[in-house]
Amino acid sequence: MSKDVFFVFVSKNNLQLLDKILVKIVFQTCIYHMWKERNEKRHQTGYRTVQQVVRIVDKAVRNRITSLQYKSEHKLAGLMQRWFAITG
């Protein structure tokens, strides 16, 4: 899926604002970590399991949301709560 098709899907789909933001953050994080994993496999002998990569992506998304530091009255203030609701 090209990024143009992805962004058309997100913008046209009937998602709530928090879900749209989370989809974009997760997409960007997954692309980055897939690229990083590919490079590590090319230049090193160590491999990560799928569970390890999922845990790394989850942690990276939580770190990104935390770094945004929205105030309680901001429209995206519930982003972390929504992430926890989705991921359980």
C-alpha pair distances (Å), 84 with each of 63, 78, 79: 13, 10, 9
* Cβ pair 47, 41 in contact under 8 A: yes
Per-residue confidence in pLDDT tens, the chain, 88 aa? 455 665 666 666 677 888 888 988 999 999 999 998 888 888 886 788 889 989 999 999 999 998 988 777 888 888 888 999 988 8
What is the pTM (predicted TM-score) of this model?
0.76
